[in-house]
Every structure is written in C-alpha cells, then in structure tokens.
Structure 1
C-alpha cells in the first residue's frame, strides 16, 4: 500500500472502532443483543471454560446446562478461536475483543475485494467508506467471521483463481476457519463458490488446480476443526432432540410473504440493513442502467437475481410441500439448509459499490456521498446501544450481585441442587454458576426432552403455539406458561403475575429440581407444590426474583 492508501485505510479502521465505542465507553452497562447471544452463546463459552469442559472427550457431557445431559459435542470445538478468548479474558472483555476482530476483518475483507477484484473507478476513499458501512452491519454477533468474513474469503479465492497474491491468500484461507463456523454460514458460501467455479471451468474448458487444491484443503481443515460436530452427526448413536425437528409448515401465501420479508428486511442473523437506502438505490441504478444499455446493468441484474433466489430458497425451505421429502431424508430434518441467507449482506454491499461506481462515472459524486451518509445514519440507528436501549444492559441482564445474594440465602454448596427459571432466561442462572434443569442448547437427548415435557405438559396443552414450539423444535428447554407466551423479559418494570401455572412439580422434583427462580409472582404456587421463600431486588439488576422452593 502507498502512504496515501494507508492513511485512508487507517481512517477507515478508526471509523470501524468508533462504531464499537459504546461497548468500551459503557463497559458492562452497554446494551447488547440478547436473542441468540446473551441468552445462549456467551453462557455456553463461559460454562465450557469454568467447568473444565473445553477439552472434554467425545462421550462427555457439560455440567450446569439442561441437567448435565448436554453432549460436549453440541458446542464449538476447542479449536475455535472464540473459546480461546473466553479462556484468556472475562466474558465481557472476550465479547468486546471478538466484536472488534470481526468488524476489523469485515472492513479489510470488503476493501480488498472491491479494490482488487471489481475494477471500480470509485476513488479509494469512497471504497473505504463502503467497507466501513459493511463492517457496521448489525449481523449476529456470535457468528464470528461466518458472515462478515466472507468478502475476505472471496478475495483470497479469487486471488488463487488468478494466481495472484498467493501467500496472503493462503494465510487467509488457513486462519479464517479458526474464527468462523462451518455450519452457520461458511458451508453455504463454499457451496455457492463451488458452483461458480465449476461453471467457469466448464464454460472456459479450464482447470485451476491451485484454486481447487486450496478449496479442498480448507474444507478438510473446517471438518477437522469441527470434528465434534462431524462426530455427532455421523457416529453418535444416541437419539437427540435434533431427530424430532419438524419445522416447515408454511402455506403458499405465508411462504410468499416470507420471501418478500427476507428480501426487503433480511434475516435476524444476517441483517444488511438494506432498506431503504441500499435497496432503492440499487434498484434505481439498475433500471436506469438497463434503459441506457450500460454494462453495469448485467452485473446488477445477476446480483439481484442471486439475492432474489436466496430469499426465495429461504422462504420455500419452510413450505409445507417439503415435508414428505424431509420425512424420508433424515439430514433434511436435522440440518437447516435454508441458511444461504448468511451470504446476503456481502452481496448487498457489493451491489451497493457497483451502483455507487456507476453514479460516480456519471458525475453524480454528490449523490454518492449523500447515499453513503444516509446509509451511515441507518446503520448508526441499528447500533446495539440504540436499538437495544430499552432492554437490560449486559450487567443488568446477568445480575451477578443479585444472584450471589440468592446463593447466599439458599446456603448450600452450588453443586448440590438444581434450579429452573420462569419468566427469564435460564442463561442468567447458568452465568451465575447455578446448575439448571432448563436451558437453551443446539441439541440434547430426546429422552430428556420427553421427561422435561412432562413438567410443562399442562401449559403446552393450553397453547398450540407453545406446543408446536417445544415439540417441533425444543432447543429452548424452558418452563413455559400460556399466560406469558414466548416472552422471557419480565423485568421489574414489566411485571405480569401468573394466576394459573399448570406444571408437574412432582416430575420437577424427580428430575432433581429444588428451586424455581421466577421473574413474576406465581399466585397459585402453594396449590401446585411450590413454597415461596423470598423476593430479591437489586439496583444493578433488571429483575425481581421470586424464589420458590419445591415442596417436600
């Protein structure tokens, strides 16, 4: 890089870090995504480290979660970099470092891809700004580089295809697998990449040995890193909750609605925040480019068709018409093939850059800068500190001091009893070292699911929605209530007493449950075998905890 380019890239990195400033400035008072993040992944990594289970054997289980019945293979392997961060740092510090790494390499990846492969006439400072915007996208934070690392991988593969920058590209392909998830994003990227490669080889009657050798080597490396997942899917004999998955009951019109929702808004795990700026700008440039018969129209058309195809595939995967085939082919039931949507953020920002390049070449520089500014505003609004400002902060969510008070009140060694949570995520108790019968995990023994279902059978019978949610998926092994629904955020400012909780407390006791930690009062507690012990409040906590003991 020349000095001027280094200055531009350095300025871009500063802007990327500014997006993360709330995490650093507010510390554990920062607001962070709860769904599929604080309620799961953060606690999983912490529990693996603190229970000494990081290097556990293939037949071992992980304590503290779901009655100690969860296989170690349900979590990422010890070769995944994010686990190392949780071994070296506190959970919050590990989270901040992880977010910093993800955003930095997202920026660098798209910058290198746009600079080296797209032959844009945009000035470097605009390419820097587009790359910064990509690094700001509100994608799933626990996915590591599974989504935001795709431009970097694509850059490396295209380099090898062209036999350029071989050293840096090979290093990239070797390192990224250690900080990304094969099944949560990358496998779908590699699937499209192999189709692209085979098509190009067939069309040009060629064979790029270096590209295919690197591809095969990276797939093998991913399988070695994810050896626990490979073992669980191919050789683990126990029947798990994954074998009872039965998702995909959308009718025709609901499928069409899901398609438009996916295309316009994206998926919660891979949000590009493409609406309204990116979507309308790209479509507008495409229409004008087609009218003027500009070559850019072809690239925009192909990109938009791919995005439409991915959105349609995602929507159709949950169409009820697939059900007979899913019942015959087991892997279609246990593995979610809809997740090609993880590729969409990269595609949206590549198309954005192409549209901006078209405008720049037609002397619409002001429009380009306005578009960048408006998209920056959209993404700043999507910053976790803003979008989750009405939710508990990191420290308020996990409520460490409050749960220490509960432990002190119970007065028993923490490993001699088990608890369940009600009206709040079990992850909170797990974060505070309680052993829980409930939890949120990828899969667990089907026999345990059946036993736990006996506890909540009465509530499931009241609500078809909850019944479908638990029976046909069930990764959230929670104490459900038809009165509360699928809500687990009953903070001290959002109280809703439960009048008629219908759970089998005898079964709860037989499975080892000693206490129930409730975020709301249970008015019929005595009649079902729960004895109220004490209410716990704390200024630093989002919750009021009502402690109930399972009656003798």
Structure 2
C-alpha cells in the first residue's frame, strides 16, 4: 500500500485543483464570492500594496479609504503570507494562487490526519476522496488556512503527543501561522485543543512536555506575527468603532432558531456543506449502531454532541442575556467569542470518514461509494462559479475600464478629490484608485463614525434596521438609502431609482466629499445638493454609474 501512497496523494492534489478549473479557464470572467471578499479583503490587500502601507509604523494610517483615517493596524501584518502574493502578482492571480495553496494543504492535512491517527479500515483511495471533498468545501477565501488548515495542525500536534515525525511536525507548526489568522479561526482551534489535551493529561496522569512546549511556542509566534492587532487591542489609545459594537439582541426563541440554523447549515465563513448528505449519513449510522448496540460509534456520538455544543455556543453568544456582562467586560464587546464555528468543517469531515469506515467494515462498500459521489455533487453545486452565477464576475464587479472613463471625465489628479458610492460597494472605487470617504473596514476612529453619521442621519431615521446596523456595528461606512435597504448590488439589470434621498451634502462637502457615484438614478438630486454630471455605461461592467458632483457648501 505504501508504494501507492504518492499516487493517491498526487491524484488527490489533481482532483483538488480540478475544483478551481473555472478560475483557471475563465480568468477574470469567473464568478467568485463578493461578501467579505471582493467588497473588502481583496481591495484591502491591493490598497496596502499600491499605497506603500504594508511596512509603515504602528501609528500610521492607510490612505484612499474611509477618509484616510483607518489605522494600519486594522489590517493583517506584513508577516501574513497572503499579502506577499498581492505584492508579487495581480489581484486576480494572487486570489487564484491563494485558493490553490489553501485547498491543496487542506487535502494534504485531512489525508494525513485520517491516515495516521484515526485507525480507519478504509482503503487509501476512500481516504483520499474524503480529503478531496474537504478541500472542496466553500470556505471563506481570505481565511487562508485558518479553517482548512486545522487538520494539518491537528495531525502535527498528535504526532508530537505520540513523539512521532517530530521534525516535520515542528516545521508544520512553524509555517502555518504565516498563512492563517489567529483571531479568525486558529485561536478557537487551539482553545479546544488545549481543553482536550488537559483532559487527556488529567485522565492519563501524564504530561507531554514536547506537545505543550510546541503549543506555547506557536501561540507566541502567532502573537508576534499579528503584533499590529495585539497592539491595537491592548495599547491603542484612540476610541474606535469597535468600542461601540452591540450585536447581541436575540431573544430566547431567536437563539434556538439560530442554533438549529448553525447546526444544519453552518456559518457563511466556515461552511462544511453538511446538509443533506453528511448530516443524514452520520445520524443514520449513529441511529442504526445504537439499535444494534454497537459500541464502536462512540466517537460519532461524541463528535455530534461537540458540534451541537459549538452551534449552541455560537447562537447563545448573541442572546440578550449576555448584555450585562458585555457592558462591564470590555473585551466581550470588542472580540467575538462566538467563532468556534471555524472548527466545525474539520469535525464534520472527520465524522464523515468515521461513518464511512463503519459502513465499510460491514461490507457496505457500494453505499460508501454512493455517499462520496452524492457529497461530490453537493460540493460541485456549491462551486462559486455555480452559486454566484447570477452575480457580477470578478471583472464585471470591479469595472476597470468604466472607472478609467470616469476618472478621465473628471479630469483631475485622482488624489485631489474624494468620492462616495450609493447602491454599490465603495470597494469598487477603491480598487480603481479613487480616494473614498466610505468603505468597509474592521475598525476606525469613533469620531469619524460620528461625523459620517451626520451625512446619512436623514436616511437612518427612515429605517430602524439601517439605524441599528450602523449604530451597533458600523463597519460598513456606507451612504445608505432607506429605499434601497442593506443591498449594494444594483446592477444595470437591477435598477431601482431613489425617489427621495435625504443626505446632508453640506456635511459631505465639509468632509471633503466631491463626487457621489450612484448605481441608480436619484430623482431629487438637485434639491439635495447633487448635480448629475454624466451617466457611464459599459458592456464589460455590471453597473450603470451616475456621476453626481457635490455642490459647494452653501451653493
């Protein structure tokens, strides 16, 4: 079997990359995730590179977005590998390479974990297919190895626990931090690993010094790599929008509903696509095994209980009952402790392998094959090219040629004026080099939030939903219109004119806002201090852009 190992690994890598064929084949015409991706991270990386802000100091800000007031510390540090890709390649090429690297190491990690530590009787081919399916999961693109790298980390830690493959395991633990996020995934994995390790030590009356030394060293390495975030959370004196977070207002029944939603469907940043195949198979095997009084499914039962517990913790974090504690413990307000859901995809596919192994040992090989094929179909349906087919492609979203025409029409150096957007994400203007007063960032000065709120307060008064969204969170510093709601995708095939826009253009001008780029026409533009300059259409763009000039103060 060992002689065929390179064949299975090579085939697995090839199948993993096949999932990315639309990205290779279609180029920038491919469809990829917009939410928390094209509308934010991709532009952040591009802006850091082009503005020369990657290596600036702890007190510096990043130009060109949100009025140039956002601290450099709001973004990943220069030691994070995904930034290197955006330094070396174009944004689309960097995106594709990152997808490939992440999915390859996701496959390798789960393959090694299942092969070396789960004592499965499954053939190598079946283990390979399970690992490929895990690598196909619709993970959050900018998470890097934060979610899909967990099996590789667990494999390395279990090796150290058993004092096997020490050199390779230590190398793995040293390298993964450079291509993952501590706060967006890994810290929750390490917390669960520490609890599990302490429990095993207590049960076995032992102490695995190598394991704990490596654990402590990796935590320290993550803190060094993410030194900017550590500084901003512990020593930055300025009050930021993060200090005004207030997102836990669910009552009891909404909390219960969120629990079932999380357990059955997962979270948008860590989707295992467990419904319907994985969930049905695991529950089915568990029920049959309990009926047959088969004790070999102990890990299945414990795994499902853990998944249910993580889902309950996630849902409970937004329960209104936490408010008194959040009001008195600052870190509970500024840090999202609900994010243990990042661990769930790995757990689902480990349980999937255990359920398949149970079937295999009972001579149900055909059923194993059927389940793998069914889950492959589910994940192919989840391919970004399929599920985002009705959204703009990468090139249609950023509309480079259209924005070059807008820049040419304005006719001034692009760094001498600032714009805001309505009905489309400010990230589009930012991608094309425009300086924007608006944007989507992790945190920014609270004083800026208060100034910007003056611009949109007329629209916030019309919509309690938008008012709560901006006041209690506010990371999307957008020009909102109550008539449009929380939607920023008004393409040329989805037009909805704004009949009565109530924004304070005097305040907009005071904040040095010169133009408004709108994806829809504004019927009362002239009465609110906006002058339509020109309408821009482009066959290669998803948008019709209405360029409005902000009238001089008092004009």
Give TM-score scaled by structure 2 length. Answer: 0.99
Note if contact 1:286-1:300 (Cα within 8 Å) is conserved in structure 2: yes
CA distance in structure 1 between the aligned counterparts of 2:2 and 2:434, rounded to whole angstroms:
55
Q: Which residue of 2 aligns with 1:499?
A: 499
CA distance in structure 2 between the aligned counterparts of 1:315 and 1:237, rounded to whole angstroms:
32
CA distance in structure 2 between the aligned counterparts of 1:105 and 1:396, rounded to whole angstroms:
30
The structural deviation recorded for 1:296 is 2.7
Q: Which residue of 2 aligns with 1:383?
A: 383
**Does residue 60 of structure 2 align to residue 63 of structure 1?**
no
Secondary structure of the structure 1 residue equivalent to 2:148: coil
Q: Deviations over 1:367-397 (max 9, x none)?
A: 0000000000000000000000000000000
Secondary structure of the structure 2 residue equivalent to 1:536: strand
Q: Which residue of 2 aligns with 1:14?
A: 14
Q: Which residue of 1 aligns with 2:26?
A: 26
The structural deviation recorded for 1:545 is 0.1
CA distance in structure 1 between the aligned counterparts of 2:146 and 2:295, rounded to whole angstroms:
32
Note if contact 1:137-1:379 (Cα within 8 Å) is conserved in structure 2: yes
Q: Which residue of 2 aligns with 1:177?
A: 177
CA distance in structure 2 between the aligned counterparts of 1:532 and 1:524, rounded to whole angstroms:
11
Q: How does 1:36-51 map to 2 (within 5 A)?
A: 36-51=36-51
CA distance in structure 2 between the aligned counterparts of 1:361 and 1:347, rounded to whole angstroms:
21
CA distance in structure 2 between the aligned counterparts of 1:142 and 1:98, rounded to whole angstroms:
8
Q: Which residue of 2 aligns with 1:470?
A: 470
Q: Which residue of 1 aligns with 2:109?
A: 109
| Structure 2 unmatched runs, 5+ | none
**Does residue 317 of structure 2 align to residue 309 of structure 1?**
no
CA distance in structure 2 between the aligned counterparts of 1:121 and 1:291, rounded to whole angstroms:
22
Q: How does 1:3-402 map to 2 (within 5 A)?
A: 3-402=3-402
Q: Deviations over 1:191-248 (max 9, x none)?
A: 0000001111111110000000000000000000000000000000000000000011
Secondary structure of the structure 2 residue equivalent to 1:535: strand
CA distance in structure 1 between the aligned counterparts of 2:471 and 2:496, rounded to whole angstroms:
26
CA distance in structure 2 between the aligned counterparts of 1:402 and 1:158, rounded to whole angstroms:
53
The structural deviation recorded for 1:292 is 1.9
Secondary structure of the structure 2 residue equivalent to 1:93: helix
| Structure 1 unmatched runs, 5+ | none
Note if contact 1:421-1:479 (Cα within 8 Å) is conserved in structure 2: yes
CA distance in structure 2 between the aligned counterparts of 1:372 and 1:297, rounded to whole angstroms:
20
Note if contact 1:536-1:546 (Cα within 8 Å) is conserved in structure 2: yes
**Does residue 441 of structure 2 align to residue 446 of structure 1?**
no
Secondary structure of the structure 2 residue equivalent to 1:58: coil
How well do the aligned residues superpose, as a CA RMSD in angstroms? 0.6
Secondary structure of the structure 2 residue equivalent to 1:513: coil
The structural deviation recorded for 1:299 is 0.5
The structural deviation recorded for 1:4 is 1.0
CA distance in structure 1 between the aligned counterparts of 2:80 and 2:17, rounded to whole angstroms:
24
Note if contact 1:59-1:71 (Cα within 8 Å) is conserved in structure 2: yes
Note if contact 1:296-1:354 (Cα within 8 Å) is conserved in structure 2: no
CA distance in structure 2 between the aligned counterparts of 1:465 and 1:9, rounded to whole angstroms:
50
CA distance in structure 2 between the aligned counterparts of 1:415 and 1:265, rounded to whole angstroms:
45
The structural deviation recorded for 1:2 is 3.1
CA distance in structure 1 between the aligned counterparts of 2:55 and 2:385, rounded to whole angstroms:
35
Q: Which residue of 2 aligns with 1:538?
A: 538
Q: Which residue of 2 aligns with 1:514?
A: 514
The structural deviation recorded for 1:297 is 2.0
CA distance in structure 1 between the aligned counterparts of 2:6 and 2:450, rounded to whole angstroms:
59
